[in-house]
Each structure stands twice: as structure tokens, then as C-alpha cells.
Structure 1
Amino acid sequence: MNAELIRIGDDIVAMHAVATDEGITLIDAGLPGDRRILQRALEAAGRRPEDIRGVVLTHGDSDHIGVAEWLRTEYGVPTYVHEADAGRAQGEKTPSAPGGAMRLGPTLRFFAAALRRGGLRPRHLGEVRTVQDGDVLPLPGSPEIIGLPGHSPGSVAIRIPAVDALFVGDALTTRHVLNGSEDVQLGPFSDAPEQTPESLERLRDLPEQTIVVGHGPIFHGTAAEMLGALKR
């Protein structure tokens, strides 16, 4: 099977398309104003939104559900989210603390990007398909769900061997949106950050060499190497 990983957006907020001969699986959905970003990226790859077979969320936060409801209502694309984050993706309010030191410049850049790309007007999902730990979804690339509770109760890693990639959402970051640090570290705005390191141990022995975080550059190396670099 031919498969390609397409990065869409930037290191502040990105989504990723796994494009195969069978269609596209979209991992996370950016911010609400990212429709044009998505359409341009797909066009450059010779694809269209109609090729998307499903959106799989690493968790249900508003900067990850972005264009998912538009894809559902416009093209009939289903969104998959862990059952513990289904309410979050559908608008349930949840508490979270920023986490980590803050610096003015990076914080302003993050909130400016969110404002420019519609982050203050989240469009929550009217319908979701729930998944559980261990599920392998019937989508291009056969994404495998690995539970990673901590950032949120329903945070997951998504393993797609076809593109040698492991998506970890906001469990980890390689560029902290509030202070600009490029250390590998836990993501901010977490519900239970003390739970995340134990959850991440589930990834240690996986062979994938591309670790995709929710915010920041891709980490090129195995999960074990990334955990070895984790700032504690």
C-alpha cells in the first residue's frame, strides 16, 4: 500500500493527513478557520476533501477539533474520538491549568494564531464515533488507538505503521506554546499531568521513527528516544 504523511498547518497548531490509495485519514483537525489551509494542502498533493474517509482525534480539545464538524456536515466525514473525550469534543466544559512557565512572546504568538484561525469560535461536533484503547479503525492506514490518559481522560496515541508514525497529541510537546521552550516536555493545559508519564511508558517499545506531537516540530526517532529526552 502506498502511503504518505502530509503535514498541514504549522508548529503552533497542525493536523496531518495520511494519504493512501484508499483515501485519507485526517489526524486531528486544527482550528476552525483552517479550511483553506487544509484545502490548499490537499490540492498540492493532488487530493480533495472528498477523499477524507475519517478524522481521528488524539483528544477533544478545541484546537484539535477545528474543521471536523465542517467535514462532517459538508462531506459526511465521521470523527472518531476516545469515549472519555466524546463530551469534550461536543462542547462539554472541562477544567485545565496552563502548566509550565510563561513568556510573553510565545504566549502572544499562540493566542494570536488562535484568534486569526478562529480559535475563539470553536465548532463542536454534533456527532462522534467513539473508540477505545486497542481499537484498529477501518480507515486508510489502519490507525491503532493506544490510550494515553493524562492530558485529558480520553487522550490517545494513534499508531500508523504505514507511514512509520506515532501521533501523541498534547501528551508531549517539542515547542511549548506558552514559553517557546524546545525541550521535549509534557504538554500544557493538562487535566492530570502527573498521570501522563506512566501512560507514555506504553509507547516505549514501539518501533515507529516519526513521533508527531500536537504542538511543535516532529520528533525524528523512536518513542524510547523521545522519552529519554523528556524533561522532567
Structure 2
Amino acid sequence: MELAPGLHRIGNDIVALHLVVTDDGITLIDAGLPGHWREFRQELASLGRDLADVRGVVLTHGDSDHIGFAERLRRDHGVPVYVHEADADRATGAKPPATPADPRRLGPVLGFAWYALRRGGLRARHLTEVVRVRGGDILDLPGSPHVVALPGHSPGSIAVYVPEVGALFVGDGLTTRSVLTGVSGPQPAPFTDDREQALRSLDALDGIEAAWVLPGHGAPWTGGVAELRRRVTDAAR
């Protein structure tokens, strides 16, 4: 689905991944779940593009509902996969730590689990090779993605800022819909390793002007970065 020229979304408010489309090729931000592969191929076809146009995958972090089909792209099509150095082990198979208990409601939890199963969540394959990045890096990929370190949800969580399409991809640095409660609106993401650090990390978004803020879970946000931060902070109280 086209959100704006050069900016496309695959998936829905449960799990989403995004494409930055330029004349020089395509950058994929996160790789969702394995079952998103078909939707990904369909989106490429609708654009008149193919897998040869995909120059790289940038992971906002190394959790299974974000690495999705990244290894398939890397292994079968030679597409490099970029991840923060602090999440490289997570993306390649290290078990994440137990996270604090989060509020949850049975309906949304079952909905998330069912959606993940239908999209091959149990078939997600860890990466066997990654390109390690750090906060402050500007990647040599279509759109020149800027890496913004957002540790907290995981040690190597990042946001990805692409000025060319006016978009800030925040992964699970925050959410606009909890997959555990079904509550919509800006709020801290569930399953976070260190909630206090995740909130502090949002300071790194100060000064970024983006027409679109795109979480891995929840609806796109178009109300500005500063207002989004304020609402996440209020929801955390």
C-alpha cells in the first residue's frame, strides 16, 4: 500500500514492514513475518519492480516478528541485512531475555498469536550473516537511511530516518496499538527489555521532522514527532 510517493507499507496494524522506493532501488525496513513474503512480492510487482531492485534490509531490531523473510532475501538473492551491532546476536539466534509482565487482554493476544501463526511466525529463520551498524550511521542504500539508536526495547533497537520520503521508522521503540491489549494510540511497546531506558531513548528523536512516523505495530502517525513523544510519555505515567 502506498502511503506517499516512494513510501509503501505491507501488513497491517498488527505487524507492518515498509519499503522506501527510489530510482536507485528499494530499501526494506524490517521483514515482518515469513508469510509476508507473498505480499512483499505482490507489492514489488505492483510497482513494476523485482527482487533485483532490493538493495538492502534494515532491521529496527532482532526480534522474530521483524526478521521474517530477511534470511531468505540474504541467502537466495544476496540482499545484505543491516542490524545494530548490539542486536546482531539476537538477529542471529541468541535467546532474548525475559521481559517484564505487560497488561494483556485475551482477545487481542489471541488475535496477535493467530495472525503470527497464519503468517508463518513459527517458521522465522534467524540470520546467518548481518552487516552491523551503529547510531549515527548513514547507510549507502536507497534513500540514505539514517540510523538513530533507541536502546530499551532491545539493546540494539534503532529508528531509521529517511528524509527523502519524510519518514521515521521506529520499530518497537514505541507503538500506536498494543498487540496485547488492543488499545490504540501512542504508548510504550510491550515485550520491552528495559522500559525506562526505552522512554529515555526517545530523546534521540528530538529535532527530527518527519511527516510519517511508522511503528512496527500500530497505525502510521502523521501528527508530528514531538506530539507523538508527548503522548507516549503521558501513556507511560
| TM-score interval (norm. to shorter) | over 0.9
Of 89-98 and 182-191, the range deviating more from structure 2 = 89-98
The offset of 1:30, in angstroms, is 0.5
Retained in 1: the 8 A contact 2:25–2:55?
yes
Residue of structure 2 in register with 1:71 after alignment:
73
For residue 19 of structure 1, what is the aligned residue in structure 2? 21
Number of residues of Structure 1 aligned to a counterpart in Structure 2: 231
2:14 and 2:46 mapped to 1: Cα distance? 21
The aligned amino acid for 2:60 is T
Distance in 2 (alpha carbons) for counterparts of 1:159 and 1:110: 27
Secondary structure of 2:180's counterpart equals coil
Give the equivalent residue in structure 2 for 1:92.
94
Q: Deviations over 1:106-165 (max 9, x none)?
A: 111100011111111220001000001100000000000010000000000100000100
- Aligned partner of 1:131 in structure 2 is 133
Matched, 1:111 2:119: no
Letter in 2 for 1:143: P
- The alignment's C-alpha RMSD in Å is 1.3
Aligned counterpart for 2:191 among listed residues 189, 192, 207: 189
Q: Distance in 1 between matches of 2:11 and 2:105?
A: 23
In structure 1, what is the equivalent of residue 35 of structure 2?
33
Partner in structure 2 of residue 51 of structure 1: 53
Return 5+ residue gaps in structure 1 as ranges: none
Normalised by the length of structure 1, the TM-score is: 0.96
- Runs of 4+ aligned structure 1 residues displaced above 6 Å come to none
Kept in 1, the 8 Å contact 2:61–2:84? The answer is: yes
| 1:7–1:15 Cα contact (<8 Å) kept | yes
SS in 1 for 2:177: coil
- Distance, in Å, in 1 between the alignment partners of 2:101 and 2:47 is 37
CA distance in 1, matches of 2:121, 2:99: 18
Partner of 2:228: 226
Instruction: Confirm or deny: 8 A CA contact 2:102 2:191 kept in the other structure.
Output: no
Contact 1:89/1:125 (8 A) holds in 2: yes
Greater helix percent: which structure? 2
Q: Could you tell me whether the CA contact under 8 Å between 2:69 and 2:124 is conserved in 1?
A: no
The CA distance in 1 between the partners of 2:181 and 2:52, in whole Å, is 38
Moved more, 94-103 or 163-172: 94-103
Distance 1:168 1:145 in 2: 10
* 1:3 Cα deviation from its structure 2 partner: 5.7
